[in-house]
Amino acid sequence: MEYTQLGRSGLKVSRLVLGTMNFGPQTTEDDSHAIMDHAHEVGINFFDTANVYGWKKGEGVTEQIVGRFFAKGGGRRERTVIATKLYGSMGEGPNETFLSALNIRRACDASLRRLQTDYIDIYQMHHVDRNTPFDEIFEAMEVLRAQGKIIYTGSSNFAGWHIAKAQECARRRNFMGLVSDQSIYSLVKREIELEVLPACEDYGLGVIPWSPLHGGLLGGVLRKEREGKRRLTGRAKDSFDEVREQVEAYEEFCEEIGREPAIVGLAWLLHQPAVTGPIIGPRTMEQLDSSLDALELVLSDKELLRLDEIWPGHRTAPEDYAW
């Protein structure tokens, strides 16, 4: 396993991030625990979750599964860099959603209980809250850090200017601010190259791509469809018709270089600036094991150029759309 520092922090994390969103809704608790144990065995130390995962309002189903995993002992918690998120609604009350100082305090305590730990390594804002000033947010985070409940703060789904605004607020407060941002990023979805990636590079944030295979669209979907193994759903189904020709060219390219499409998609992300590691969300042990091959794949300049031809990206703004 390869390790890298998370942004400008001194924290060392694996270059693949174990996403837990399927734990509960699609993967049983026993299988989820087995996957997490195996992740440790192969060197993955970075796990990502969120208080809303499990999709039963207020229950934090996935966090509870992870918490019972930690409670088994054997160094499971100590070997894990655990990141969780808040923002989404956890109840019917007006202050059980978003990023008010009150909700930050309550949500953190609730996540700690469910995760059966006394600290969260990276406490992330799941989305930007346009109605709460960053001074209030960071003051609440500073209190949690002083109490030893969190160590680092991160964001998710922020625009480049949100990152800049947050970091300048943190600078004024003599607070470290954000160390990472989770953003949708893949060969199919490259808009963060306009401003989010440059902002993260400039401010020293590690980038953690989610949906790195765009819901399976980059996972050899045409071949699987021909073999009757998988039907398109969700994000992949919604965008398939408009990118079918690109998917065909992509799968042909992967066949030419003798690599599975999913591995190429993950490996491409590992070649991108500021990317710490993509979030993989395995439903099974086999999916976890297959993802590891991405760490060994070094794409040549010629291969990277061919991927850019199939899936055109963006230059940094404003050069992307102006001189």
Catalytic positions, please? 53
CA dist 71 and 78 (Å) reads: 11
Residues ≥6 apart with Cβ < 8 Å to 83: 46, 47, 48, 49, 120, 121, 122, 123, 124, 154, 180
Q: Please tell me what DSSP assigns to residue 122.
A: E
Helix (H) or strand (E) holding 48: strand 46-48
Q: What is the DSSP string of 125-194?
A: ESS--TTS-HHHHHHHHHHHHHTTSEEEEEEES--HHHHHHHHHHHHHTT---EEEEEEE-SSS--GGGT
Residue 43 — left, alpha, or beta (φ > 0 → left; ψ -120 to 50 → alpha)? left
CA dist 53 and 106 (Å) reads: 17
Name the nearest CA neighbour of 198 among 209, 207, 210, 188: 207
Give backbone dihedrals phi and psi of 3, rounded to 5 degrees, phi first.
Answer: -125, 150
Please, are residues 212 and 280 in contact by the beta-carbon 8 Å criterion?
A: yes
Query: C-alpha dihedral over 42, 48, 51, 54, to 10 degrees?
Result: -60
CA dist 290 and 99 (Å) reads: 37
Please, are residues 154 and 180 in contact by the beta-carbon 8 Å criterion?
A: yes
